[in-house]
Amino acid sequence: MSEKVTFGELIESIAEETEHSKQFTHDFLKDFVDIINGGLEEDGKVNIAGFGKFELQRVDEREGYNPQTEEKITIPAHNKVVFKPYKDLRELVNAPYAHMEPQLIEEEEKEEETTSNAEDHSSADHQAVDSQTEKSAIDSSSSIDEDNKQAQKEQKSESDIPESSEEQKLNEDDFIPTAPPTSHQQDSDEDKTSDKNQIETEEDFPFSFEAQQESDEDISEASASESSDDIEDYDNGDIVEFRAAASDTEDDLLEEFIGSEEKEQQDETSEDIEAVEETEPETNEPQEFEDKLDETGSSEEEDDDEEKEATKSEEEVLAEEVEKLEETAQDLKQDQQEQSDLEDKNSQYPTPPTSRPSDRSSSFSYVAAAAIVLLLIAGGAWYYSTLSTNDTTLISSSEEPTTSTDAAQEVNTQQQETEDSQESAQNQSQASTQSSATQQSTGNTAPDNQSVEIEEGQTLWSLAEDRYGNPRLWPWIYGNNGSLEDPDLIYAGSSLSIPLPSGPQNTLTSTDSVGVAKGFIATYKWYKSNKQSKAKNHLWAAKLYHDDLQQLADVPIDKTDLSYANKAR
Amino acid sequence: MNTSDVVAILAENWDMTHAEARDFLDVITQTFTENIASGNSFSIPELGTFGTTTRKKRKSYNPHYEQYMKLPPKRVVDFNPSKGLKEDLKQVDIDDE
């Protein structure tokens, strides 16, 4: 991975694949390039299906600068060649980050966000801890512990995943304090909560192309399922543009922090770390830190003693130091306060952004209005549906005495639904018991059923088309017959119970839709248990007819399929 | 210019059927894709170099929610046209279609 492949190697692999000679493929490829060249000249764009397109884009004239002669140049307007990959290639290339999604952030946190940019752009030189930056270093102490904790966790997960690419290494720790925060606070405390949630996704990190190729589908499904989990911060997996080295052990982190500089800084940072300790007592750092602190504390006392003997300039220096320490103590208290505030915010972080206070009152009235409208519509629909079912039940109940004692009967397959009141009085279940009467009389809201014997050449699709005008509703029939197995195989001579729409022709009432959705769930289950990949498409289709699929299903639905059904719209 | 046009020219130049030329082109494309997706970089003479880069995460603004948002890092295809290509096409008139 991440290696330079030579043109010759490419030719070799293509020649092998196409079973032509190397010379031939070489020439062919050259010709191909020529054609692209010609196409760009002629049309300005060349589309290569399954790969991408080459385009010419116009670049305006602009002023440039010749650094050698130090004179201004005008760069004339010209074209540039761009390559835009198509979706497949794009997705393959972005596979390591495929599970990440954009996240909305609250406006108050915007300031913290700037620090992340600063951090991203800052140099990798972590050795240069200036005294000027100490104050800001102190401010960021509260976030440092999260970084360390994050580093901890990521190290654990890292050890589970064999490293195979540079980029993977870079990904782990966005916030290892390799660079000193200059004038910005380091990035967000929100990472803390995300860390805990993100561990699973890190471990699922696709890290080798071979693995991806083998399990492309799995990954896409996995990412689909995880995307709902991953609305939180993804900072874990971010590229760290600076050195990857800063990740090996906590000790290394410590060292970086404490550094090899002057003791003053060492004191400062160890105090920072002490503050860190107070807020995150669970890390292993405490002991080490406290030890160091003890050392430095005692050394400070010695310094103070020496101060009296020292010259005035030294006194001043030390006095400054003491001042600074006092400030840091105050700042630490402040930070702890901020920390707890931010923790409160963090607990809310994963939830979707709430509307601003000014919007709440107006949005509430909108919601109320929408709710009222929906209630009216729902009420109307219910009323309408009960009207129609009332009719059929009246008719059917009158038919009942005459037909309830009938044995299994052949039924005319050509009649329309609403005219089928006579037949609908009979409801033959697939198990060939005659529970029609009971079902019919209780069916105020349940749709009526028509029993049909399958003729040769009929399919569920064709039956649905006959009955409903829409053959795509065939799973409704399937779902209504519990003993049907393979929906693609129905046998002539067997009987089916065909549910009839309870509304007017060519419309589906809500109860009908529920039935259709249940039918799709049934087909999904069968295909799933027979390991057919189209299973999840049926789940997706079920969602068209009813929203809450899990409610309709009596067994838990596979999560990946459910998110596929929810997602791909 | 579409794939089919390209394929037509190739088939003509190399005395193949359209189907054969198309297959060959697919193999070329597939090889490129595999290499790019695994992070390798390669260059084709007179065309350019293909490789991958990573876009850093960044802050952006979502006008629908009227809020700032963080965009995740992204790995993308990187194409640098070769000198010959650049020079040839620098001053071509682009048609407005």
What is the average pLDDT across A347-365? 57
Q: Note the pLDDT of residue A500.
A: 82
pLDDT exceeds cutoff 70 at A187: no
Can you tell me the distance from the alpha carbon of B6 to that of B9, in angstroms, rounded to the nearest whole number? 5
* CA A193 vs CA A131, A338, A346, B40: distances in Å: 31, 16, 6, 35
pLDDT tens per residue across span A9-48: 999 999 988 888 999 999 999 999 999 988 888 888 899 9
Q: Note the pLDDT of residue A312.
A: 57
Question: 3-state class of A416 per DSSP?
Answer: coil
Q: Note the pLDDT of residue A345.
A: 55
More confident residue, A512 or B52: B52
B54: nearest CB among A14, A81, A167? A167
Can you tell me the distance from the alpha carbon of A49 to that of A30, in angstroms, rounded to the nearest whole number? 19
> Would an 8 Å CB–CB cutoff place B64 in contact with chain A?
no
pLDDT exceeds cutoff 80 at B92: no
Q: Note the pLDDT of residue A120.
A: 42
> Would an 8 Å CB–CB cutoff place B82 in contact with chain A?
no
Q: Note the pLDDT of residue B18.
A: 92
pLDDT tens per residue across span A507-550: 778 888 888 888 888 888 888 888 778 888 888 888 888 888 78
B3: nearest CB among A44, A49, A89? A49
Beta carbons of A234 and B29 less than 8 Å apart: no
Least confident of A33-42, A197-206, A360-369: A197-206
What is the average pLDDT across A166-191? 45
Q: Note the pLDDT of residue B28.
A: 92
Beta carbons of B77 and A89 less than 8 Å apart: yes
Can you tell me the distance from the alpha carbon of A290 to that of A133, in angstroms, rounded to the nearest whole number? 23
Q: What is the C-alpha radius of gyration for chain A, rounded to an integer number of angstroms?
A: 35
Residue A372 CB neighbour total at 10 angstroms:
10
What was the ipTM of the complex prediction?
A: 0.92
> Would an 8 Å CB–CB cutoff place B87 in contact with chain A?
no
Q: Are A491 and A498 in contact (CB under 8 A)?
A: no
Q: Note the pLDDT of residue B80.
A: 92
Give the distance from residue B47's alpha carbon to the nearest chain A alpha carbon, in angstroms. 6
